[in-house]
Structure 1
């Protein structure tokens, strides 16, 4: 089951990019101001989730008039809106979650959202046309385009036994520490890359070309 979540940040990709993901998804969720992208696309999500402090009244009324199920929370809560949306998707049998609209001026919001990659074991990807951010499985093989920029970070105290192939800077049995982010700005040099590790939590940023 695939879920598409549009968060309340700034959409940075062409509308066609979001339309394609929508057409491939089983559940559509708007998080607060994310409803405005669905409105622009003239596509009703299944759910609108959040405290609704950033969505315009016009967009909320559009959701109501189109029978979008609204799940509203008080602003004073122990979870962020995006966390609540991810949890809702998982409880509705989603095993693949794509999140767009997470970029913007609030770096604390972005950082908080990315930390959720460590909290959940499900396949969650933050995605725009030019950028993918996700937690790497213990073994990852992927077709890429040479010249892509990849950055790897440990979200645990350390991630051990790292193996990289197909990169300008390959690695065998390497270790990344959370307080020494030296995995920034590697570059793909082949059409296929391999990433694996033995212990820890590894996330990647993939900047597409």
Structure 2
């Protein structure tokens, strides 16, 4: 196993392992090494496959395998079972459980693919106002999502794509450095494609905004020629 039950979250980091398609197991193991781990339903199977102990298991448990559930209970995982007829997704329940720990940072780890409605819901959920007190990000397959509320630094390889998407309303006064196409106190309207397909000019880019929320999406690929048109 990657770590023993009951380990301390020394730096205030919580990793939430989503259900659905299997994520990058190497990435999951690395992120979980110094974090408290919360599995959302069949996210427990992914944690087990990565050799990671889940401190908390949350959800209606309709998709986790019996073997993983039995092993987790034997290892001391805190199992929090919810009815199938509930008003929140397993991921939302897991994020709420993470917030109860008062962490500094929450990172969601998930696989790419699956249902489009789940993917869109998850992206919007990460930027919800009630999670504003923590640094929120996600690794979804090869992509990285970072929620930016006032300012943040993004890391990538020069030439790597990154998009800045306003969510839950417009983002105003956006300033960037380290990107090929800089923004200088610009406003991004909700639903606009203005921030799509920028790319890193330097290994570290900075993004600041006066108001609103941005989701920075680094899909983990370099642009094709047509992406720059």
Superposition TM-score, scaled by structure 1 size? 0.91
2-structure distance, mates of 1:150, 1:83? 26
Counterpart of 2:34 in structure 1 is: 24
Structure 1 position 102, deviation (Å) = 4.8
Is 1:207–2:219 an aligned residue pair?
A: yes
Q: Does 1:187 align with 2:196?
A: no
Match of 1:35 in 2: 44
Which residue number in structure 1 is paired with residue 15 of structure 2? 4
Q: How far apart, CA to CA, are the structure 2 residues paired with 1:172 and 1:5? A: 35
Q: Check the 8 A contact 1:169/1:187 in 2, yes or no.
A: yes
How far residue 129 of structure 1 moved from its aligned partner, in angstroms, is: 6.7
Query: 1:113 matched to which residue of 2?
Result: 122
- 2:161 aligned with 1:149: yes
**Matched residues in 2 for 1:129 and 1:33: separation?**
16
Name 1:140's counterpart in structure 2.
152
Aligned residues of 1:156 and 1:177 also touching (Cα < 8 A): no
Structure 1: unaligned runs, 5 residues or longer: none
Aligned length: 207
Match in the other structure for 2:103:
94
Q: TM-score, normalised by structure 2?
A: 0.83
- Runs (4 or more) in structure 1 with deviation over 4 Å come to none
Distance in 1 of aligned mates of 2:169 and 2:31: 34
Q: 1:11–1:100: 8 Å Cα contact kept in structure 2?
A: no
The Cα RMSD (Å) is 1.8
